[in-house]
Amino acid sequence: MSGSASSSKNSCSCCLPLFSSSIGRKWIVALTGIVLVLFVIGHLIGNLSIFLGPDAINAYALFLQGLGEILWVIRLFLLACVVLHIWFTITLWRENMKARPQKYAVKNDLQTTSYARLMRLSGLVVLAFVLFHLAEFTWQAFTPEYKTWVDAQGRHDVYRMVIAGFSSPFVSGFYILAIGLLAMHLSHGIASLFQTLGITTAKMRPVFEKGGRTLAWVIFAGYVSIPLAVFFGLLRYPAAACSLCH
């Protein structure tokens, strides 16, 4: 988190200390950020199973579906993290704006402002992307026939669905753009959360910054490898069996 956030005037004494102090709210943003980074890494590892072939990714998707109620608990927990992360980011930003007496034109402030702008903008695009992504692959709202695709073993054919989805250069282009913004968000956010949690020392700061950037771009490379592999025909589905695929 960047900038100095003042304690909120309208904080309520009956609330948990975590919610009612500026530091507490920063901690919530940082802790929910960690959960979301872990989800992004876990989801990437699961998605990369597509390179092992249809059986691997379809079995993985079936395993997730088989979790039943546990999957819903995980989904609700993730949703709560997304809501808290966004809500407290906005709250802290508004506190910062109120605490700032004037728009001063020193370089440091400009850097802080453009950093905050980048984090907000990239965060919003990632949110829009996740909603589009859910509509496409989880709710299958754009192509309802995805729901009927099953493999030889009767499992939902996620392999075919992903290849069909990325057969559109527009969809792939949007994914690559959004994942690039996600990487920018993470590249700043990961180092920042170590600072919020007070783990960073002056000596360790460059290490966390470099580590955060490296992790963010490894995540980027992993995710974009899938649409790129479809685009270059490395991942394909027999054309005769799928009119939407290559």
Write out the two tokens for 169.
């250069």
Subset of residues 47 to 66 that bind ligand HEM, contact rule: CB under 6 A: 47, 61
Task: Decide if residue 37 touches ligand HEM (CB under 6 A).
Answer: no
Question: 7-46 burial string, b = 16+ CB within 10 Å, else e?
Answer: ebeebeeeeeeeebbbebbbbbbbbbbebbbeebeeebee
Cβ closer to ligand HEM: 15 or 139?
139
Selected range binding ligand HEM among 16-24, 87-95, 147-155, 221-229, rule: CB under 6 A? 221-229
Write out the two tokens for 217.
């771009």
Subset of residues 81 to 120 that bind ligand HEM, contact rule: CB under 6 A: none
Cβ closer to ligand HEM: 134 or 199?
134
Q: What is the DSSP string of 199-224?
A: ---TTTHHHHHHHHHHHHHHHHHHHH
Q: Which of 188, 172, 185, 181 is nearest to 224 (CA)?
A: 172
Task: Decide if residue 146 touches ligand HEM (CB under 6 A).
Answer: no
How far is the C-alpha of 119 from the C-alpha of 100, rounded, in Å? 19
Least distance between ligand HEM and beta carbon 233 (Å): 16
Task: Decide if residue 158 touches ligand HEM (CB under 6 A).
Answer: yes
User: Residue numbers of the site for ligand HEM (CB under 6 A)?
Assistant: 40, 43, 47, 61, 75, 126, 130, 133-134, 137-138, 158, 162, 175, 179, 182, 223, 226-227
